């Protein structure tokens, strides 16, 4: 079942199951952002429950980040006169 999810989405949700970022309104983090912002003193010891509906939401958000990133790369390539990615 987990094979359908992007690794970044899964890690994002797992991190938030036991950790609260300083800005509690933020939920979407890249792996790089998590590695920079994760703080052990903000980890709680309460039992976590995986919400697969929320995981689908995280997956969708991370897919949109990938699409945006691909568009940016495609735009940069076309500006340089390179062949566009199809």
Who has greater pLDDT, 75 or 40?
40
Residue 14: pLDDT over 60:
yes
Q: Where are the domains of the chain?
A: 2-79
Running DSSP on this structure, what letter comes out for residue 26? Answer: -
pLDDT of residue 26: 93
**Which has the higher per-residue pLDDT, 1 or 32?**
32
16 — pLDDT class (breaks 50, 70, 90) = very high
pTM to 2 decimals? 0.76
User: Which region holds residue 44: left if phi is over 0, alpha if psi is between -120 and 50, else beta?
Assistant: beta
Mention the CATH class of domain 2-79.
Answer: mainly alpha
Q: What is the mean pLDDT of residues 34-46?
A: 91
Largest CA distance in the chain: 54
Q: Which residue's entry shows tokens 């949700």? A: 13
Q: Are 37 and 15 in contact (CB under 8 A)?
A: no
Mean pLDDT of the chain: 86
Does the pLDDT value for residue 59 go beyond 90?
A: yes
Residues 6+ apart with CB under 8 A from 77: 83, 84, 85
Q: Which residues pair with 19 in a beta bridge?
A: 43
């Amino acid at each position: 079942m987990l094979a359908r999810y992007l690794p970044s989405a899964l890690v994002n949700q797992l991190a938030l199951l036991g950790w609260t970022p300083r800005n509690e309104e933020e939920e979407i983090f890249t792996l790089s952002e998590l590695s920079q912002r994760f703080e052990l003193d903000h980890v709680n010891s309460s039992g976590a429950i995986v919400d697969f509906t929320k995981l689908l939401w995280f997956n969708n958000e991370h897919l949109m980040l990938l699409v945006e990133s691909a568009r940016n790369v495609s735009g940069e390539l076309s500006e340089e006169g390179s062949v566009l990615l199809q």
